[in-house]
Protein backbone atom coordinates (compact mmCIF):
# COMPACT_ATOMS: atom_id res chain seq x y z
CA UNK A 1 0.00 0.00 0.00
CA UNK A 2 1.44 3.34 -1.11
CA UNK A 3 0.45 6.54 0.71
CA UNK A 4 1.53 9.04 -1.99
CA UNK A 5 1.85 7.15 -5.30
CA UNK A 6 2.47 10.35 -7.28
CA UNK A 7 6.07 10.59 -6.04
CA UNK A 8 6.73 7.00 -7.09
CA UNK A 9 5.21 7.57 -10.53
CA UNK A 10 7.52 10.55 -11.06
CA UNK A 11 10.64 8.75 -9.81
CA UNK A 12 10.26 5.53 -11.82
CA UNK A 13 10.56 7.14 -15.32
CA UNK A 14 13.54 9.18 -14.14
CA UNK A 15 15.19 6.05 -12.75
CA UNK A 16 14.63 4.19 -16.01
CA UNK A 17 16.07 7.12 -17.94
CA UNK A 18 19.20 7.12 -15.74
CA UNK A 19 19.60 3.37 -16.18
CA UNK A 20 19.14 3.67 -19.94
CA UNK A 21 21.72 6.46 -20.15
CA UNK A 22 24.22 4.34 -18.25
CA UNK A 23 23.70 1.29 -20.46
CA UNK A 24 23.89 3.42 -23.61
CA UNK A 25 27.17 4.93 -22.41
CA UNK A 26 28.54 1.47 -21.55
CA UNK A 27 27.75 0.22 -25.07
CA UNK A 28 29.95 3.00 -26.52
CA UNK A 29 33.17 2.14 -24.72
CA UNK A 30 35.31 4.35 -26.93
CA UNK A 31 33.44 7.54 -26.05
CA UNK A 32 31.43 6.61 -22.99
CA UNK A 33 34.38 5.72 -20.70
CA UNK A 34 36.29 8.84 -19.76
CA UNK A 35 38.66 7.44 -17.13
CA UNK A 36 40.43 4.17 -16.39
CA UNK A 37 38.27 1.76 -14.41
CA UNK A 38 35.02 3.60 -14.99
CA UNK A 39 31.88 1.46 -15.46
CA UNK A 40 29.05 3.59 -16.91
CA UNK A 41 26.57 0.72 -16.65
CA UNK A 42 27.11 0.38 -12.90
CA UNK A 43 26.96 4.14 -12.51
CA UNK A 44 23.64 4.24 -14.35
CA UNK A 45 22.29 1.47 -12.14
CA UNK A 46 23.44 3.25 -8.98
CA UNK A 47 21.89 6.56 -10.04
CA UNK A 48 18.65 4.77 -10.94
CA UNK A 49 18.52 3.18 -7.50
CA UNK A 50 19.15 6.55 -5.83
CA UNK A 51 16.25 8.16 -7.72
CA UNK A 52 13.99 5.16 -7.11
CA UNK A 53 14.87 5.21 -3.41
CA UNK A 54 13.98 8.89 -3.11
CA UNK A 55 10.64 8.27 -4.80
CA UNK A 56 9.93 5.23 -2.63
CA UNK A 57 10.75 7.09 0.57
CA UNK A 58 8.56 10.09 -0.31
CA UNK A 59 5.68 7.81 -1.32
CA UNK A 60 5.69 6.27 2.22
CA UNK A 61 4.83 2.59 1.65
CA UNK A 62 2.74 0.95 4.38
CA UNK A 63 2.83 -2.63 5.59
CA UNK A 64 2.78 -4.64 8.79
CA UNK A 65 0.40 -4.60 11.73
CA UNK A 66 -0.90 -1.32 13.21
CA UNK A 67 1.10 -0.08 16.18
CA UNK A 68 -1.99 1.27 18.00
CA UNK A 69 -5.57 0.09 17.34
CA UNK A 70 -7.65 3.21 16.74
CA UNK A 71 -10.60 4.22 14.57
CA UNK A 72 -12.99 7.17 14.45
CA UNK A 73 -16.55 6.28 13.42
CA UNK A 74 -18.64 9.36 12.62
CA UNK A 75 -22.26 8.23 13.03
CA UNK A 76 -24.74 10.30 10.99
CA UNK A 77 -28.38 9.68 11.97
CA UNK A 78 -31.20 10.85 9.70
CA UNK A 79 -33.58 12.90 11.90
CA UNK A 80 -36.03 14.12 9.26
CA UNK A 81 -39.78 13.69 9.67
CA UNK A 82 -39.86 10.85 7.15
CA UNK A 83 -37.98 8.70 9.69
CA UNK A 84 -41.25 8.50 11.65
CA UNK A 85 -42.83 6.24 9.00
CA UNK A 86 -43.63 2.83 10.52
CA UNK A 87 -42.42 0.46 7.79
CA UNK A 88 -39.25 -0.95 9.41
CA UNK A 89 -40.45 -4.30 10.69
CA UNK A 90 -43.62 -2.88 12.20
CA UNK A 91 -41.98 0.09 13.90
CA UNK A 92 -40.78 3.55 12.92
CA UNK A 93 -37.60 3.93 10.89
CA UNK A 94 -36.09 6.15 13.58
CA UNK A 95 -36.85 3.57 16.28
CA UNK A 96 -35.15 0.92 14.14
CA UNK A 97 -32.09 3.19 13.78
CA UNK A 98 -31.85 3.87 17.52
CA UNK A 99 -32.28 0.15 18.23
CA UNK A 100 -29.44 -0.60 15.79
CA UNK A 101 -27.14 1.88 17.54
CA UNK A 102 -28.19 0.69 20.99
CA UNK A 103 -27.24 -2.88 20.10
CA UNK A 104 -24.03 -1.65 18.47
CA UNK A 105 -22.97 0.24 21.60
CA UNK A 106 -24.12 -2.46 24.02
CA UNK A 107 -20.66 -4.08 23.78
CA UNK A 108 -17.30 -2.26 23.91
CA UNK A 109 -15.12 -1.90 20.83
CA UNK A 110 -11.63 -1.13 22.19
CA UNK A 111 -9.87 1.60 20.21
CA UNK A 112 -12.99 2.91 18.43
CA UNK A 113 -14.20 6.48 19.06
CA UNK A 114 -17.82 7.22 18.12
CA UNK A 115 -19.11 10.64 17.09
CA UNK A 116 -22.83 11.43 16.64
CA UNK A 117 -24.51 13.91 14.31
CA UNK A 118 -28.09 14.38 13.11
CA UNK A 119 -28.80 14.80 9.39
CA UNK A 120 -31.73 17.01 8.38
CA UNK A 121 -31.79 19.87 5.92
CA UNK A 122 -28.71 20.89 7.92
CA UNK A 123 -26.14 18.89 9.87
CA UNK A 124 -26.66 19.12 13.64
CA UNK A 125 -23.58 18.03 15.69
CA UNK A 126 -24.61 16.15 18.84
CA UNK A 127 -21.45 14.61 20.34
CA UNK A 128 -17.76 14.74 19.37
CA UNK A 129 -15.90 11.43 18.90
CA UNK A 130 -15.41 9.58 22.16
CA UNK A 131 -15.68 6.20 23.84
CA UNK A 132 -18.46 6.99 26.34
CA UNK A 133 -21.12 4.60 25.04
CA UNK A 134 -23.54 5.43 27.87
CA UNK A 135 -23.52 9.13 26.93
CA UNK A 136 -24.10 8.23 23.29
CA UNK A 137 -27.10 6.07 24.12
CA UNK A 138 -28.59 8.73 26.40
CA UNK A 139 -28.20 11.41 23.73
CA UNK A 140 -30.32 9.37 21.34
CA UNK A 141 -33.26 9.69 23.76
CA UNK A 142 -33.35 13.47 23.29
CA UNK A 143 -33.57 13.31 19.48
CA UNK A 144 -37.00 13.19 17.83
CA UNK A 145 -37.46 12.98 14.06
CA UNK A 146 -38.55 16.29 12.57
CA UNK A 147 -37.96 18.36 15.75
CA UNK A 148 -34.39 19.56 15.15
CA UNK A 149 -32.60 21.24 12.29
CA UNK A 150 -34.09 22.29 8.98
CA UNK A 151 -36.90 20.22 7.43
CA UNK A 152 -36.09 17.49 4.94
CA UNK A 153 -32.85 15.61 4.26
CA UNK A 154 -29.88 17.04 2.38
CA UNK A 155 -27.23 14.38 1.79
CA UNK A 156 -25.12 16.58 -0.47
CA UNK A 157 -24.65 19.34 2.09
CA UNK A 158 -24.70 17.11 5.18
CA UNK A 159 -22.07 14.58 4.09
CA UNK A 160 -19.86 17.40 2.77
CA UNK A 161 -19.93 18.99 6.24
CA UNK A 162 -19.11 15.64 7.85
CA UNK A 163 -16.10 15.23 5.54
CA UNK A 164 -14.81 18.64 6.61
CA UNK A 165 -15.08 17.87 10.34
CA UNK A 166 -13.07 14.62 10.47
CA UNK A 167 -9.35 15.05 11.18
CA UNK A 168 -7.07 14.42 8.21
CA UNK A 169 -4.73 11.45 8.31
CA UNK A 170 -6.53 9.59 11.11
CA UNK A 171 -8.23 6.23 10.49
CA UNK A 172 -11.89 7.19 10.15
CA UNK A 173 -15.12 6.15 8.43
CA UNK A 174 -18.68 7.49 8.21
CA UNK A 175 -21.70 5.39 9.27
CA UNK A 176 -25.01 6.70 7.87
CA UNK A 177 -28.41 5.48 9.11
CA UNK A 178 -31.16 6.78 6.83
CA UNK A 179 -33.98 5.95 4.44
CA UNK A 180 -32.00 7.57 1.60
CA UNK A 181 -34.70 10.05 0.56
CA UNK A 182 -33.19 13.34 -0.71
CA UNK A 183 -35.54 16.35 -0.58
CA UNK A 184 -33.41 19.46 -1.10
CA UNK A 185 -31.98 18.74 -4.54
CA UNK A 186 -31.94 16.05 -7.18
CA UNK A 187 -30.32 12.74 -6.31
CA UNK A 188 -27.69 13.19 -9.03
CA UNK A 189 -26.61 16.61 -7.72
CA UNK A 190 -26.58 15.43 -4.10
CA UNK A 191 -24.64 12.30 -5.06
CA UNK A 192 -22.00 14.27 -6.97
CA UNK A 193 -21.50 16.74 -4.13
CA UNK A 194 -21.32 14.08 -1.40
CA UNK A 195 -19.04 11.73 -3.34
CA UNK A 196 -16.65 14.54 -4.27
CA UNK A 197 -16.34 15.67 -0.63
CA UNK A 198 -15.90 12.14 0.76
CA UNK A 199 -13.33 11.19 -1.89
CA UNK A 200 -11.35 14.36 -1.25
CA UNK A 201 -11.30 13.60 2.48
CA UNK A 202 -10.54 9.86 1.82
CA UNK A 203 -13.54 8.83 3.93
CA UNK A 204 -15.34 5.55 3.16
CA UNK A 205 -19.11 5.66 3.67
CA UNK A 206 -21.01 2.75 5.21
CA UNK A 207 -24.80 2.95 5.36
CA UNK A 208 -27.75 1.22 7.01
CA UNK A 209 -30.95 1.40 4.92
CA UNK A 210 -34.16 1.80 6.93
CA UNK A 211 -37.70 1.45 5.60
CA UNK A 212 -39.41 -0.17 2.63
CA UNK A 213 -39.46 0.75 -1.05
CA UNK A 214 -43.25 1.16 -1.23
CA UNK A 215 -44.65 4.67 -0.52
CA UNK A 216 -46.00 5.11 3.00
CA UNK A 217 -47.75 8.14 4.56
CA UNK A 218 -45.60 10.46 6.68
CA UNK A 219 -47.23 11.08 10.09
CA UNK A 220 -48.28 14.69 10.51
CA UNK A 221 -47.00 15.86 7.11
CA UNK A 222 -49.03 17.38 4.29
CA UNK A 223 -47.92 18.18 0.76
CA UNK A 224 -48.25 21.63 -0.81
CA UNK A 225 -51.58 20.68 -2.43
CA UNK A 226 -53.01 19.52 0.91
CA UNK A 227 -52.75 15.81 0.16
CA UNK A 228 -51.15 13.31 2.46
CA UNK A 229 -47.36 13.18 1.99
CA UNK A 230 -45.72 9.82 1.36
CA UNK A 231 -42.17 8.55 1.71
CA UNK A 232 -40.26 5.54 0.43
CA UNK A 233 -36.74 4.31 1.12
CA UNK A 234 -34.03 4.67 -1.55
CA UNK A 235 -31.53 1.82 -1.02
CA UNK A 236 -30.07 2.19 -4.53
CA UNK A 237 -29.11 5.81 -3.83
CA UNK A 238 -27.32 4.91 -0.59
CA UNK A 239 -25.62 1.90 -2.17
CA UNK A 240 -24.26 4.09 -4.99
CA UNK A 241 -22.82 6.53 -2.43
CA UNK A 242 -21.15 3.71 -0.49
CA UNK A 243 -19.66 1.95 -3.52
CA UNK A 244 -18.30 5.21 -4.97
CA UNK A 245 -16.46 6.04 -1.73
CA UNK A 246 -15.11 2.56 -0.97
CA UNK A 247 -17.74 1.44 1.53
CA UNK A 248 -20.79 -0.81 1.49
CA UNK A 249 -24.21 -1.35 3.04
CA UNK A 250 -24.39 -2.72 6.60
CA UNK A 251 -27.26 -4.89 7.80
CA UNK A 252 -26.56 -5.87 11.43
CA UNK A 253 -24.75 -4.33 14.42
CA UNK A 254 -22.55 -7.43 14.64
CA UNK A 255 -21.37 -6.85 11.07
CA UNK A 256 -20.52 -3.23 11.90
CA UNK A 257 -18.62 -4.26 15.04
CA UNK A 258 -16.64 -6.84 13.07
CA UNK A 259 -15.91 -4.24 10.39
CA UNK A 260 -14.54 -1.81 12.99
CA UNK A 261 -12.23 -4.48 14.43
CA UNK A 262 -10.97 -5.47 10.97
CA UNK A 263 -10.29 -1.84 10.05
CA UNK A 264 -8.30 -1.28 13.25
CA UNK A 265 -6.29 -4.47 12.64
CA UNK A 266 -5.55 -3.52 9.02
CA UNK A 267 -7.26 -6.59 7.50
CA UNK A 268 -10.01 -4.46 5.89
CA UNK A 269 -9.07 -2.14 3.04
CA UNK A 270 -8.98 1.60 3.74
CA UNK A 271 -7.63 4.62 1.82
CA UNK A 272 -3.85 4.68 2.11
CA UNK A 273 -3.69 8.10 3.80
CA UNK A 274 -6.03 6.87 6.56
CA UNK A 275 -4.67 3.33 6.88
CA UNK A 276 -3.66 2.30 10.42
CA UNK A 277 -0.70 0.34 9.03
CA UNK A 278 2.66 1.99 9.82
CA UNK A 279 4.55 3.83 7.06
CA UNK A 280 8.12 2.80 6.20
CA UNK A 281 9.94 5.63 4.41
CA UNK A 282 13.24 4.17 5.59
CA UNK A 283 12.96 1.51 2.86
CA UNK A 284 13.56 4.19 0.25
CA UNK A 285 16.52 5.56 2.20
CA UNK A 286 18.25 2.17 2.27
CA UNK A 287 17.60 1.69 -1.45
CA UNK A 288 19.08 5.12 -2.24
CA UNK A 289 22.10 4.35 -0.03
CA UNK A 290 22.70 1.10 -1.91
CA UNK A 291 22.51 2.97 -5.20
CA UNK A 292 25.02 5.53 -3.99
CA UNK A 293 27.47 2.77 -3.05
CA UNK A 294 27.07 1.15 -6.50
CA UNK A 295 27.65 4.50 -8.19
CA UNK A 296 30.89 4.95 -6.24
CA UNK A 297 31.99 1.43 -7.22
CA UNK A 298 31.67 2.28 -10.91
CA UNK A 299 33.19 5.75 -10.70
CA UNK A 300 36.68 4.70 -11.89
CA UNK A 301 40.27 5.23 -10.76
CA UNK A 302 40.63 9.05 -10.96
CA UNK A 303 38.87 9.45 -7.62
CA UNK A 304 40.69 7.16 -5.19
CA UNK A 305 41.63 10.12 -3.03
CA UNK A 306 38.07 11.08 -2.09
CA UNK A 307 36.22 7.83 -2.83
CA UNK A 308 37.09 6.56 0.65
CA UNK A 309 35.92 9.85 2.16
CA UNK A 310 32.55 9.38 0.48
CA UNK A 311 32.29 5.78 1.60
CA UNK A 312 33.13 6.71 5.20
CA UNK A 313 29.61 8.12 5.98
CA UNK A 314 28.13 4.93 4.53
CA UNK A 315 30.22 2.84 6.91
CA UNK A 316 29.29 5.05 9.84
CA UNK A 317 25.55 4.96 9.07
CA UNK A 318 25.54 1.17 9.13
CA UNK A 319 26.60 1.32 12.79
CA UNK A 320 23.92 1.89 15.46
CA UNK A 321 23.34 5.60 15.98
CA UNK A 322 23.87 6.76 19.55
CA UNK A 323 20.88 8.54 21.00
CA UNK A 324 22.76 11.46 22.54
CA UNK A 325 25.07 12.08 19.61
CA UNK A 326 25.63 15.78 19.20
CA UNK A 327 25.38 15.43 15.45
CA UNK A 328 21.68 14.42 15.66
CA UNK A 329 19.36 17.48 15.38
CA UNK A 330 17.10 18.19 18.34
CA UNK A 331 13.99 17.96 16.17
CA UNK A 332 14.94 14.39 15.21
CA UNK A 333 15.51 13.50 18.87
CA UNK A 334 12.14 14.99 19.81
CA UNK A 335 10.34 13.09 17.04
CA UNK A 336 11.86 9.74 18.05
CA UNK A 337 11.25 10.39 21.75
CA UNK A 338 7.61 11.40 21.19
CA UNK A 339 6.97 8.32 19.07
CA UNK A 340 8.55 6.08 21.71
CA UNK A 341 6.52 7.78 24.46
CA UNK A 342 3.29 7.21 22.53
CA UNK A 343 4.20 3.52 22.30
CA UNK A 344 5.00 3.31 26.06
CA UNK A 345 8.68 2.64 25.31
CA UNK A 346 10.18 4.63 28.18
CA UNK A 347 13.70 3.28 27.67
CA UNK A 348 13.91 4.62 24.12
CA UNK A 349 12.12 7.84 25.06
CA UNK A 350 14.65 8.54 27.83
CA UNK A 351 17.57 7.78 25.52
CA UNK A 352 16.31 10.23 22.85
CA UNK A 353 14.94 12.88 25.21
CA UNK A 354 15.82 16.35 23.76
CA UNK A 355 18.09 18.57 25.81
CA UNK A 356 17.82 21.93 24.01
CA UNK A 357 16.00 25.06 25.23
CA UNK A 358 12.97 24.96 22.91
CA UNK A 359 9.77 25.15 25.03
CA UNK A 360 8.07 22.23 23.29
CA UNK A 361 11.18 20.08 23.71
CA UNK A 362 11.38 20.97 27.42
CA UNK A 363 7.74 19.93 27.83
CA UNK A 364 8.48 16.62 26.13
CA UNK A 365 11.55 16.02 28.31
CA UNK A 366 9.53 16.81 31.44
CA UNK A 367 6.73 14.44 30.39
CA UNK A 368 9.28 11.65 29.90
CA UNK A 369 10.78 12.36 33.32
CA UNK A 370 7.36 12.25 35.01
CA UNK A 371 6.46 8.99 33.27
CA UNK A 372 9.82 7.60 34.47
CA UNK A 373 9.07 8.59 38.11
CA UNK A 374 11.78 11.26 38.18
CA UNK A 375 9.91 14.40 39.38
CA UNK A 376 13.13 16.16 40.34
CA UNK A 377 14.44 16.08 36.78
CA UNK A 378 11.04 17.24 35.51
CA UNK A 379 10.98 20.23 37.89
CA UNK A 380 14.51 21.20 36.91
CA UNK A 381 13.66 20.96 33.21
CA UNK A 382 10.51 23.10 33.60
CA UNK A 383 12.13 25.73 35.82
CA UNK A 384 13.00 28.16 32.95
CA UNK A 385 9.40 27.96 31.64
CA UNK A 386 7.63 28.69 34.94
CA UNK A 387 10.09 31.13 36.53
CA UNK A 388 9.97 34.88 36.04
CA UNK A 389 7.04 37.04 35.02
CA UNK A 390 4.04 36.28 32.88
CA UNK A 391 4.81 36.44 29.15
CA UNK A 392 2.30 38.41 27.09
CA UNK A 393 0.57 37.31 25.01
CA UNK A 394 0.33 34.03 26.90
CA UNK A 395 2.17 31.36 24.84
CA UNK A 396 0.52 27.96 24.32
CA UNK A 397 3.20 26.13 26.30
CA UNK A 398 2.63 28.14 29.50
CA UNK A 399 -0.40 26.22 30.84
CA UNK A 400 1.03 22.70 30.23
CA UNK A 401 4.32 23.79 31.81
CA UNK A 402 2.62 25.01 35.01
CA UNK A 403 0.44 21.88 35.20
CA UNK A 404 3.40 19.53 34.86
CA UNK A 405 5.48 21.59 37.27
CA UNK A 406 2.69 21.36 39.87
CA UNK A 407 2.53 17.59 39.39
CA UNK A 408 6.31 17.34 39.82
CA UNK A 409 6.17 19.38 43.04
CA UNK A 410 3.35 17.16 44.33
CA UNK A 411 5.35 14.01 43.59
CA UNK A 412 8.27 15.55 45.47
CA UNK A 413 6.04 16.06 48.51
CA UNK A 414 5.86 19.86 48.15
CA UNK A 415 2.08 20.28 48.20
CA UNK A 416 2.12 24.01 48.98
CA UNK A 417 4.40 24.74 46.02
CA UNK A 418 2.12 22.69 43.78
CA UNK A 419 -0.93 24.67 44.97
CA UNK A 420 0.90 27.95 44.36
CA UNK A 421 1.66 26.95 40.77
CA UNK A 422 -1.96 25.97 40.15
CA UNK A 423 -3.23 29.26 41.61
CA UNK A 424 -0.79 31.15 39.39
CA UNK A 425 -2.12 29.29 36.36
CA UNK A 426 -5.71 30.15 37.24
CA UNK A 427 -4.78 33.81 37.65
CA UNK A 428 -2.99 33.88 34.30
CA UNK A 429 -5.59 31.88 32.37
CA UNK A 430 -8.90 31.59 34.27
CA UNK A 431 -11.13 28.62 33.56
CA UNK A 432 -8.50 25.90 33.18
CA UNK A 433 -10.47 22.75 34.01
CA UNK A 434 -7.39 20.63 34.77
CA UNK A 435 -5.99 23.24 37.14
CA UNK A 436 -9.33 23.57 38.97
CA UNK A 437 -9.60 19.80 39.38
CA UNK A 438 -6.02 19.42 40.63
CA UNK A 439 -6.37 22.34 43.04
CA UNK A 440 -9.59 20.94 44.50
CA UNK A 441 -7.90 17.56 44.94
CA UNK A 442 -4.97 19.14 46.80
CA UNK A 443 -7.09 21.41 49.01
CA UNK A 444 -8.37 19.52 52.02
CA UNK A 445 -11.31 20.54 54.19
CA UNK A 446 -9.82 22.37 57.26
CA UNK A 447 -12.76 21.30 59.45
CA UNK A 448 -13.53 17.62 58.90
CA UNK A 449 -17.00 16.50 59.92
CA UNK A 450 -17.41 15.05 63.43
CA UNK A 451 -17.71 11.29 63.86
CA UNK A 452 -21.26 9.93 63.60
CA UNK A 453 -23.30 9.80 66.80
CA UNK A 454 -24.33 6.20 67.55
CA UNK A 455 -27.43 7.52 69.30
CA UNK A 456 -28.59 9.34 66.17
CA UNK A 457 -28.25 7.15 63.09
CA UNK A 458 -27.94 8.97 59.76
CA UNK A 459 -31.09 9.45 57.71
CA UNK A 460 -31.85 6.92 55.01
CA UNK A 461 -30.49 7.64 51.51
CA UNK A 462 -32.73 9.70 49.24
CA UNK A 463 -35.13 7.89 47.01
CA UNK A 464 -34.28 7.36 43.38
CA UNK A 465 -35.86 9.82 40.95
CA UNK A 466 -39.34 8.83 39.96
CA UNK A 467 -40.43 8.20 36.41
CA UNK A 468 -42.02 11.64 36.40
CA UNK A 469 -38.73 13.30 37.32
CA UNK A 470 -36.89 11.35 34.64
CA UNK A 471 -39.55 12.40 32.13
CA UNK A 472 -39.15 16.05 33.16
CA UNK A 473 -35.38 15.82 32.65
CA UNK A 474 -35.89 14.27 29.21
CA UNK A 475 -38.34 17.01 28.25
CA UNK A 476 -35.84 19.60 29.41
CA UNK A 477 -33.20 18.12 27.11
CA UNK A 478 -35.67 18.22 24.21
CA UNK A 479 -36.45 21.88 24.93
CA UNK A 480 -32.74 22.76 24.82
CA UNK A 481 -32.31 21.12 21.40
CA UNK A 482 -32.38 23.52 18.41
CA UNK A 483 -35.87 24.00 17.06
CA UNK A 484 -37.01 23.49 13.48
CA UNK A 485 -36.98 26.81 11.62
CA UNK A 486 -40.04 27.89 9.70
CA UNK A 487 -39.58 27.00 6.04
CA UNK A 488 -41.62 28.10 2.99
CA UNK A 489 -44.38 25.92 1.65
CA UNK A 490 -43.49 23.05 -0.64
CA UNK A 491 -40.66 21.53 1.39
CA UNK A 492 -41.11 17.85 2.16
CA UNK A 493 -41.27 17.72 5.95
CA UNK A 494 -43.56 20.69 6.78
Q: Are residues 290 and 263 in the same domain?
A: no
pLDDT of residue 145: 79
Q: Are residues 253 and 377 in the same domain?
A: no
Q: How does residue 245 score in pLDDT terms, banded at 50, 70 and 90?
A: confident
The verdict on residue 251 lying in a domain is: yes
Q: For residues 361 and 330, is the Cβ–Cβ distance under 8 A? A: yes
Strand intervals (E) in 282-387: none
* Model confidence, pTM: 0.52
Q: Are residues 149 and 244 in the same domain?
A: yes
Q: Is 18 exposed, middle or buried (0-12, 13-18, 19+ CB in 10 A)?
A: buried
pLDDT tens figures, 328-361: 778 888 888 888 888 878 888 888 888 888 888 9
Q: Are residues 112 and 245 in the same domain?
A: yes
pLDDT of residue 1: 63
Eight-state DSSP code of residue 78? E
Q: Give Dmax (Cα) for the chain.
A: 115
The verdict on residue 290 lying in a domain is: yes
Average pLDDT of every residue of the chain: 79
Region 72-98: what's the mean pLDDT? Answer: 82
> Is 80 exceeded by the pLDDT of residue 17?
yes
* Lowest-pLDDT range of 38-42, 86-90, 220-224, 489-493: 489-493
Q: For residues 122 and 80, is the Cβ–Cβ distance under 8 A? A: no
Task: Please name the helix (run of DSSP H) or strand (run of DSSP E) that holds residue 377, with its range, or none.
Answer: helix 375-386
The verdict on residue 474 lying in a domain is: no
Is pLDDT larger for residue 315 or for residue 281? 281
Q: How does residue 405 score in pLDDT terms, banded at 50, 70 and 90?
A: very high
Q: Are residues 400 and 268 in the same domain?
A: no
Is pLDDT larger for residue 374 or for residue 465? 374
The verdict on residue 14 lying in a domain is: yes
Q: How does residue 202 score in pLDDT terms, banded at 50, 70 and 90?
A: confident
Q: For residues 261 and 276, is the Cβ–Cβ distance under 8 A? A: no
Q: For residues 283 and 61, is the Cβ–Cβ distance under 8 A? A: yes
Region 399-409: what's the mean pLDDT? Answer: 91
pLDDT of residue 335: 84
Q: Is the dihedral of CA 450, 453, 456, 462 positive or negative?
A: positive
d(CA 153, CA 130) in angstroms, rounded, equals: 26
298 is in which domain, residue-wise? 5-61+281-317
pLDDT tens figures, 477-489: 888 777 777 666 6
Is pLDDT larger for residue 19 or for residue 215? 19
pLDDT of residue 220: 66
Please state the separation of Cα 116 from the chain's center in Å. Answer: 15
The verdict on residue 252 lying in a domain is: yes
The verdict on residue 299 lying in a domain is: yes
Q: Are residues 109 and 149 in the same domain?
A: yes
Peptide bond into 464 cis (omega under 30): no
pLDDT of residue 404: 92
Q: How does 31-40 read in b/e, with b if 16+ C-beta sit within 10 Å?
A: ebeeeeebbb
d(CA 221, CA 217) in angstroms, rounded, equals: 8
The CA-based angle 173-179-184, given to 5 degrees, is 90
Q: Are residues 256 and 129 in the same domain?
A: yes
Q: Are residues 177 and 298 in the same domain?
A: no
Q: Are residues 372 and 265 in the same domain?
A: no
Q: Are residues 198 and 268 in the same domain?
A: yes
Q: Are residues 301 and 346 in the same domain?
A: no
- 469 bridge partner residues: none
Pairing of strands 112-119, 123-130: antiparallel
Eight-state DSSP code of residue 185? S
Q: How does residue 439 score in pLDDT terms, banded at 50, 70 and 90?
A: confident
Region 53-67: what's the mean pLDDT? Answer: 74
CATH code of 434's domain: 1.25.40.10
Region 103-111: what's the mean pLDDT? Answer: 80
Last residue of a domain, one of 317, 343, 369: 317
d(CA 14, CA 47) in angstroms, rounded, equals: 10
The verdict on residue 478 lying in a domain is: no
Domain count, the chain: 3
pLDDT of residue 116: 86
The verdict on residue 203 lying in a domain is: yes
- Which residues have CB under 8 Å from 108's CB, separation 6+? 133
CATH code of 247's domain: 3.40.50.410
> Is 60 exceeded by the pLDDT of residue 82?
yes
**Total number of residues shown for the chain:** 494
Region 457-472: what's the mean pLDDT? Answer: 77
Q: How does 403-422 read in b/e, with b if 16+ C-beta sit within 10 Å?
A: bbbbbbbbbeebeebbbebb
Q: Which of 199, 79, 218 is nearest to 150 (CA)?
A: 79
Is pLDDT larger for residue 30 or for residue 436? 436
* Lowest-pLDDT range of 63-67, 105-109, 295-299, 367-371: 63-67
> Is 80 exceeded by the pLDDT of residue 199?
yes
DSSP secondary structure string for all residues of 199-226? HHHT--EEEEE-S-SS-EEEEEEE-TTS
Q: Are residues 82 and 211 in the same domain?
A: yes
Q: How does residue 309 score in pLDDT terms, banded at 50, 70 and 90?
A: low
Last residue of a domain, one of 442, 468, 483: 442
Amino acid sequence: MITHPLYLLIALPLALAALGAGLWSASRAATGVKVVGQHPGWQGLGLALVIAGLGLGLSAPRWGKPEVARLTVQVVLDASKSMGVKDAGGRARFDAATSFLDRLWSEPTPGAAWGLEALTGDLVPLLPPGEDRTLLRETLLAVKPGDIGAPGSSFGRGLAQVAGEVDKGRPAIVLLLSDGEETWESESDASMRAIAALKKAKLPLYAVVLGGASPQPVPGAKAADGKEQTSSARPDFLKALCVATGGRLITTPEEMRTLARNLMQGTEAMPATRSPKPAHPEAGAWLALLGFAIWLFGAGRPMPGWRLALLLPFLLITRPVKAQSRFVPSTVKAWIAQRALDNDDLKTAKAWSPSDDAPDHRLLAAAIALRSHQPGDAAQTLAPLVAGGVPRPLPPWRAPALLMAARAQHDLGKTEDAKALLIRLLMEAPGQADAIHDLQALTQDPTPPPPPDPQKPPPPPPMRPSMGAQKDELEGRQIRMPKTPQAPKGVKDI
